[in-house]
Amino acid sequence: MCTGFAGSLPLFCVTAGKHDVPVVFREPHVEAGFRLLGQPWSYYIFSIFQLHNESLNIWTHLLAFALTAKKLLAFQLEVCNFAFYACILIFMQAW
């Protein structure tokens, strides 16, 4: 559970040892740093900013999501601009 609340924001989310999680979630050579199961969503959202055994995995996924979203937005803008100018050219040739 998260401890040390400042208003409604938890300052520190406690992690569990390998004996506190089901066997299916255990990893070889990882002894601690597991996030607790059955917690509210706020626990998992705030755990993004805590150090645990999945911190690097979370941040690499967030970075990949941000870069993909940026590329998708740039591609979408390029396609829209091309379609806009293509429509104008077709319209102008029809006159």
pLDDT in tens, 5-23: 445 555 566 778 888 888 8
- How much is the pTM? 0.62
Q: In the predicted model, what is the mean pLDDT of the chain?
A: 78
pLDDT in tens, 78-93: 777 777 777 766 776 7
- Counted residue by residue, the chain has a size of 95
Q: Considering Cα of 19, then 1, then 11, then 41, what sign does the dihedral take?
A: positive
Six-digit token string for 57 = 């995995």
